[in-house]
Amino acid sequence: MLSRRVHSHSSQYALEVARRALLLMIVIALIATACGGSGIVLPDDADEELFAGLAVYQQRCAQCHGQTGGGGIGANIQDIESRLTNAEQRDVVVNGRRGPTGQMPAFGQTLSDADIDAVVRFTRDILEPA
Ligand code: HEC
């Protein structure tokens, strides 16, 4: 009787340990998705505009230019600041561009001026070749 009680107690304990391990695994998986999903880490002193730029980039640009700007359907823009001035780059985002590698859509009608400034700055300042 005594040994049975001990046994059932320890199997309950084992179940509790398993439950906690599972919970921990879920939490770790969630954190990994939240942090590792984009592969982009903003600097500690990043201001609101950079956070806004990151958000716009992930929602509107990453599907073509890649999570870290390495390219895909759209061009590699990790080194864009060496090819285009700020104004030239803004013009591509506002008006779009039909070029040798395809169609860059125009965002002048769908993004605010502030969002366009933010995403242009984000791509120039944050996206870097690996
Ligand atoms: C539907 C796919 C698509 C989306 C979405 C997209 N782009 Fe593009 N983008 C392209 C393509 C294709 C080109 C290349 C056009 C060309 O060949 O001239 C391009 C070119 C560019 C260029 C110029 C690259 C160069 O080397 O001159 C910049 C800058 C740029 N995109 C930024 C953005 C930003 C910022 C966003 C989000 C607001 C965005 N793109 C969203 C497809 C896309």
CATH for 88: 1.10.760.10
Is the same domain home to 27 and 66? Answer: no
Is residue 130 assigned to a domain?
no
Residue 94 vs residues 19, 27, 107: alpha-carbon distances, Å = 52, 40, 5
pLDDT score at 2 = 58
Q: Read off the pLDDT of each residue in 72-100 and give the average, rounded to a whole number.
A: 97
pLDDT band of residue 1 (cuts 50, 70, 90) is low
Amino acid at 4: R
Is the same domain home to 116 and 64? Answer: yes
How many domains is the chain built from?
Answer: 2
C-alpha span between 127 and 58 (Å, rounded): 12
Is the same domain home to 4 and 67? Answer: no
Residue 13 vs residues 19, 32, 106: alpha-carbon distances, Å = 10, 28, 60
Is the same domain home to 77 and 121? Answer: yes
- Ligand 1 center from residue 45 Cα (angstroms): 28
Q: Whose alpha carbon is nearest atom 1 of ligand 1?
A: 64
Is the same domain home to 57 and 24? Answer: no
Find the helix packing angle between 113-125 and 86-95, rounded to 10°: 130
Is the same domain home to 52 and 30? Answer: no
Rg (CA), the chain: 24
Q: Whose alpha carbon is nearest atom 37 of ligand 1?
A: 61
Is residue 42 assigned to a domain?
no
Question: Domain range for residue 109?
Answer: 48-125
Q: Whose alpha carbon is nearest atom 16 of ligand 1?
A: 99
SS3 category, 99: strand
Is residue 17 assigned to a domain?
yes
pLDDT tens per residue, range 6-38: 566 777 877 787 788 777 776 656 555 554 456
pLDDT score at 42 = 96
C-alpha span between 80 and 69 (Å, rounded): 10
The pTM of this model reads 0.79
Q: What is the position in ligand 1's atom list of the atom closest to the CA of 107?
A: 38
Is the same domain home to 16 and 52? Answer: no
Yes or no: say if 95 and 108 are a contact pair by the CB < 8 Å rule: yes
C-alpha span between 40 and 130 (Å, rounded): 11
